[in-house]
Chain A
């Protein structure tokens, strides 16, 4: 197990190298010039050239990559061309927001998705099954953008239960320690800030949770159905175990491997930022950041984010693989 983890972590090196070369070429191939973006529409050619020179944009692309790589190996992702701030700091400022949103959404998605899937499978072809699966289809096909606005209209405008934009009420000021609002407000004992940031989390989490929730429900259902048809289930029923024992104790655990895979994949995806949800709900997360960076052709910022996403994705996948071992003792890594 230990060697397996080390091996997997070592594999990160070629993955990150590949990803960085690919993203570096793609962003440089795209038309547009960050120097023109910062200099503004009316700037003189001298100013633009001076900016290009300052950020090394006048050098050949291979040289630029080499300079960037050497800097990254020293642990420095560079400075954003647009904001002049260190990219590491920019990511650190926004990632906690995306992480909190992801955790909340996945929490909703897993709980509701799994329960719906299990119930559907154990009562196949019942009204409950049809309605859950119909809802799941609805959930997968619904545009997040539209759903977000609808949630805001219902819970924010008409019912006035929940705030509709931002991370926390503008009227509350509190001290940040880690950047995780919920954690920080608890650490500083600021109950008002805790409640406010929790309330701000609810709508975006629901909007973001719909697609993974629906996928999880469908996978859980089909995986459960497969397990329920197996011989050992028949044996258990024959032994006279209650249906609840059969389903929750034996079937669910056996059906979980594909579900965990889907959860892992979704988790990795959401961690790289939910651009639409973050835009609709004005969530200051990493997804919005990278879209802005791409639009402004902020090369160091784009590179830094992509490298970070690739790293997170690999780690989440590794964790998923480790979880398999705990779910299914038959799985061993040499």
Chain B
């Protein structure tokens, strides 16, 4: 009896083993993600996993150009700005339908915005709308002019709002779908994009299919599946055997193996980030008026981390020359980053490529130190991040490298480490003398780097974003002017000039822009990495 059972078992196992892999439908692309989406409402998420799915379902009034953070028309065909710069009128694309068959029109635009900013809107209760307060608070209201015209009214002139409008947060959702599913609408996403939502099996996969009526023409892929494979080694194995066609976040240790495999293509592009070491130049202000701006009645005062030598420009320039950034990028980032010379990524509007980076020159550094009155160096404490962030994988190792480089020119660096929450609190309060930190951009606008990280207004002790407490007023003026004009060329000029000042005064050692990477099978064509790390599969096809 038992023998019979076992032989039946063995036979059935053999049978299963003999079956080949499930047939692969052509035109179906499976992409391996490291985690599942949280929610599928574009206005109600901040995590990259949710966004990568929705980028293929939803669209906004404007969108990024392929591979760049410049914007181009999408659901709006054109727009004009009022003379005072506070009203932007958008003309909407006609004949576009949502996946549920309803019309895209001004009502849908107003709905998608108003549910976020109007607490009395019937759908406001169904989300947290986290990004609204942070990126879109300058939008006072959105009004319908006629069925295909809407007007966005701003409380302040804000040139970065146009780039922000390409963010997922303000993608247009179908009001009929929201009405149908109410608080569960985030499980049944419905937009105007190239792919339609089919199913979501939690922690396993999300399936999308081609939108046959897409206004730009049907996508080349029939189906797009996002499959969750949390472990990077398992993800690569799945890619190697062809269970998936592409994957995100490959392990840098596997890069050589990937490059050696003719079936795989490793894509790597500079990411929208900056990793740096900030030197506390000594002075900040208390934002008693709570407006995020340094008003005349808010005088500059010493920061708690004030250290005499760091207030001198020569010393900061010397530190810039004492650190071998090339070596740090090569050995610690293991080549998965590019050396930074400015405080924002090179592909952004207004990036100043004419600036010449401080060379690695310990001898010059010593000279400068002597000139500043510190021939024998001095002692300084470095705040070292306890966690790895996308812009800095291994802060303790980078800290050690900096320690030894500065040691070589006579500057003795003491390590200081504390948990991440406290770290942010202490650096925002200016308790540090030097600290490692960085930034990942939100919308692709230079303002989102320059004003947030380097302006005088963000030198507020307690809520600082400018961790060098670089209080140059001329610089802040340039940054403010750049935000108050819609003329793209004019903006670029302001930012270029500001970068010159920042470079000269040397409050930071800009270390690296970490790359973003993805791996695809070689038969996947047309996919382009986007600087914002968003994933647009419309141009992609399988060969």
Contact = CB atoms under 8 A, between A and B. Distances in A.
A196 B431 CA distance: 59
B128 A170 contact: no
Interface in B142-194: 183, 186-187
Contacts of A199: 16, 19
Interface string A180-202: 00000000000010011011001
Interface residues on A, range: 35 or more
A38 B204 contact: no
A230 interface: no
Nearest to A93: B202
B227 A171 contact: no
Q: Which of B24, B183, B230 has the most CB of A within 10 A?
A: B230
Contacts of B24: 171
B451 to A, nearest CB: 13
A173 B215 CA distance: 28
Nearest to B5: A111
Interface in B366-425: 419, 421
B39 A43 contact: no
B202 A94 contact: yes
A325 interface: no
Contacts of B183: 84
B234 A152 contact: yes
B179 to A, nearest CB: 18
Interface residues of B, number: 50
Contacts of A289: 203
Contact of A165 (B133, B229, B442): B229
Given A149-B234, A163-B21, A195-B16, A43 B228 contact: no
Nearest to B15: A195
Contact of B21 (A160, A166, A292): A160
Interface stretch (A18-26, A44-52, A61-69, A316-324): A44-52
A42 B442 contact: yes
B38 interface: yes
A38 B203 contact: no
Nearest 9 CB-CB pairings of A with B: A40-B46, A169-B22, A284-B203, A284-B204, A282-B229, A39-B130, A47-B133, A44-B133, A165-B238
Given A42-B134, A43-B131, A157-B237, 8 more contacts: A38-B46, A38-B128, A50-B128, A51-B130, A164-B238, A198-B16, A202-B16, A282-B238
28 contacts: A38-B128, A39-B46, A40-B47, A41-B46, A43-B131, A50-B128, A82-B38, A83-B39, A84-B39, A84-B186, A93-B202, A149-B234, A157-B237, A164-B238, A164-B241, A165-B237, A166-B205, A166-B227, A166-B229, A167-B204, A169-B21, A171-B24, A280-B231, A282-B229, A282-B230, A282-B231, A284-B204, A292-B35
